[in-house]
Amino acid sequence: MEALLAAREIVITCGSGGVGKTTTAAAAAAMAAVHHGGKVLVLTVDPAKRLASALGIGGFGNQATRVPDAAFAAAGVAPRGELWAAMLDTRQSWDDLVRRHAPDRDTERRILENPLYQNIAGRFVQSHDYIAMERLYELHSEGTYDLIVVDTPPTRNALDFIEAPQRMAEFFRSRLLKMLIVPYRSRLVNMASRPFYQIADRILGSQFLQDIAEFFILFQTMYEGFVERATAVERLLQDKRTTFVVVSTLETAPVREAEFFIRVLHDKGFHLGGLILNKTLPTYLLDEVAGRRAAALVESAGDLAEGDLAAEVDAAPGVLERVLQEVGENFRNLLVVAQREAAERDDLAAIPEVVVTVEEFSSDIYDIAGLMRLGERIWS
Amino acid sequence: MGKTTVAASLALLAAKRGRRTLLCEVDAKGDVADLFETGPTKFAEREVQPGLWAMSMDTEASLRQYLALQLKLPLVARVGPLARMFDFVGSAAPGVKEIVTVGKLCWEVRERHYDCVVVDAAASGHIVSQLASPQAINSLVQVGLVRQQTGWMLDILSNPATTSVVVVTTPEEMPITETIELRERLAAETTVSLAAIVVNRVLPELFGRAEEAVFDALDAPRPVELLERELGGPAQPLLDAARLMVTMRRTRTSHLERLRDALGGAVPLLYVPFIFTRTHGLRSTRQVAEALSAELGY
């Protein structure tokens, strides 16, 4: 992973929810800032505000915030470079986008005031995906950062995320868009004469259709800018400076999503830099012989608790018997999970070149020291 | 989080208790098929267990069904282009796709096709926009059929006797933090009530206090040697594994306490133990259903 981070300008982590994607992104960025130097940004686009807690800094927004050196000092490291963090503010980013692409002040104002726009920028789920890519492009082309590590929403959404620029371009080119706009743009078309509009009118109401049409007419003034931008964003994602890192645990559902994601990356010609298998069980559990020993321990717990052992640990036989049984059963339980994980690992690890396994931590990661501990594991 | 597993188990439990139940996977990934060891689910529901039907959401199919049922125009031939238009508007206009999903499910409830509809919904970041979509549509669309539709959907969604959300989480840092946030957002942005929080994959407590002291005494060179003599091989991995479990459980317990503090007893918590099985299938689905059944006091 060290070489990968040194060679790329954009690293995008993806994977299912709850696999530690955000923390991994932050850890990778922290390691790069500490060891490679330069300015490193970690950008989270996840609607849930997770990264702040992992970085130990509260409430950062669209503006990138520098993680203070003191936070690193507290973790006993002196970074060669700087670590910055930013979280995507969808609304703010959309407004910026409109301001940039709108042909004039009046159009800008009308777009910003259109009820559809306000909903798109505020609530609309997928607008997040497009704006995230847009923001990434913006940050990258500013050239402020040597490395940008991006944390994405869970898999299916992350897929939307990489396809968003293209979808946006397709949307503006669409013939349907023109069809929808024509009757409102030109009064020559008699709406009532067209069954298509009649039905649309019955379903959605003419006011809503008019809002939509107006919105799209206004938006079309930004067509050129959007399509150009969308194409540039997609080029950047496929560029060799960009790489994707898939993060997964070894549980069934996340593994299936990781497989899905790896397949899509491959099909679409994106670069898969590596696979991080997170929160795995230690390998010593994967031991059938020890499993049989554990079974024997459960069997003979009663006898053992009567013998020398009870005197040695100074325990009542009943208590000791229960402890021995629990120890035996627990090993057998964890062996089953470890075997399940091993099977998943074999399925998954066959694909990418770089595979990193990170064992479950005994404590949570809530500060730079924790991030550095995780970072050390993924580094080599 | 095991969201699909919990949804499947709740549905199984409802069916077992004699309720005609529909389980709908909104973001279908084929997990329901695995959990019931059956073929892939489709939009048309199929009985996967006695009294339990499963389907997966498909917004286009849902729209077709809606148009066929609601519009009294000879539409059959025109559904194609209309669906495309809807799809197109849906990719730009907020709430349109969501309303088709929510609408289908509310419709199943309104028509009383089932006694119980269990929805394996979108991930936590998106569920709020889905549940708030009728209001979003209401604020945008003033007249027309869609507008007429949102009223009764809101009635169904807002009635706690009919609809409520069950949040599934695991006792880990981020999932618990998100659960607390989600609860606040549900209350602030939707009209849907929160019935319970299911805490999934709760690790077993190996030892009580007396036992833990004995375990600590056991984890020393001399007792380990005695154990190894009995077992005829290394005993340390067995003790290490027990230590690992105790530590993992302890970390998770601290997050559970944080959740309990945040809820202040206002929302029931249901605990589902970690299931140590080789694969996920009908057997583990039943185990989770049994755990939920016990938690619900059935």
Between B203 and A58, name the one with better pLDDT.
B203
Which of A176, A180, A320 lies at the smallest CB-CB distance from B214? A320
Question: What is the mean predicted confidence (pLDDT) over A222-241?
Answer: 83
| CATH code, B43 | 3.40.50.300
- Supply B132's token pair: 């708030």
Q: Looking at the complex, does the CB of residue B280 fall below 8 Å from at least one CB of chain A?
A: yes
* Chain A positions in Cβ-Cβ contact with residue B203 (cut-off 8 Å): none
Question: Between 3.40.50.300, 1.10.30.50, 3.40.47.10, 3.40.190.10, what CATH number should domain A2-281+360-379 receive?
Answer: 3.40.50.300
Does B145 sit within 8 Å of A203, measured CB to CB?
yes
A208 reaches B (C-beta below 8 A): yes
Q: Is the pLDDT of residue B253 over 50?
A: yes
Would you say residue B279 lies in a domain?
yes
For helices A206-220 and A175-185, give the axis angle rounded to 10 degrees.
110
Q: Is residue B164 part of a domain?
A: yes
End-to-end Cα, chain A, rounded Å: 6
A118-158 pLDDT, tens per residue?
Answer: 766 654 445 667 777 888 888 999 999 999 999 876 545 55
The mean predicted confidence, pLDDT, of chain A is 81
The closest CB to that of B125, out of A48, A319, A331, belongs to A48
Indicate the residue of B126, B233, B235 with minimum beta-carbon distance to A125. Answer: B126
- Sequence spans of domains, chain A: 2-281+360-379, 284-344
- pLDDT for A125: 43
B235 touches chain A (CB under 8 A): yes
Inter-chain residue contact A319 with B211, CB threshold 8 Å: yes
Q: How many structural domains does chain B have?
A: 1
pLDDT in the model for residue A187: 46
Chain B: residue whose CA lies nearest to A312: B223
CA distances from A368 to A52, A173, A247, A339, B175 (A): 11, 46, 20, 33, 20
* Segment B7-54, tens digit of pLDDT: 999 999 999 999 999 999 987 777 888 899 998 999 999 999 999 999
Look at residue A333 and tell me whether its pLDDT is greater than 50.
yes
Q: Chain A residue with minimal CA distance to B95?
A: A124
Nearest CA in chain B to A317: B214
Whether the CB of B164 is below 8 Å from some CB of chain A: the reply is no
3-state secondary structure string, chain A? CHHHHHHCCEEEEECCCCCCHHHHHHHHHHHHHHHHCCEEEEEECCCCCCHHHHHCCCCCCCCCEECCHHHHHHCCCCCCCEEEEEECCHHHHHHHHHHHHCCCHHHHHHHHHCHHHHHHHHCCCCHHHHHHHHHHHHHHHHCCCCEEEEECCCHHHHHHHHHHHHHHHHHHHCHHHHHHHHHHHCCCCCHHHCHHHHHHHHHHCHHHHHHHHHHHHHHHCCHHHHHHHHHHHHHHHHCCCEEEEEEECCCHHHHHHHHHHHHHHHHHCCCEEEEEEEEECCHHHCCHHHHHHHHHHHHHHHHHHHCHHHHHHCCCHHHHHHHHHHHHHHHHHHHHHHHHHHHHHHHHHCCCCCEEEEECCCCCCCCHHHHHHHHHHHHC
pLDDT value at position A47?
Answer: 46
Q: pLDDT tens, A251-309? A: 888 888 888 888 888 888 889 999 999 989 999 999 999 999 999 999 999 999 888 88
Kindly tell me if the per-residue pLDDT of A321 is higher than 50: yes
> Is 0.95 topped by the overall pTM?
no
Residue B235 within a domain: no
**CB atoms A125 and B139 under 8 Å:** no
- Is A334 close to B82, i.e. CB distance below 8 A? no
Q: Cβ B241–A206 below 8 Å, yes or no?
A: no
Which residue among B84, B93, B207 places its CB closest to the CB of A212? Answer: B93
* ipTM passes above 0.90: no
Between A207, A326, A360, which is nearest B143 by CB?
A: A207
Domain region containing B70: 3-198+267-295
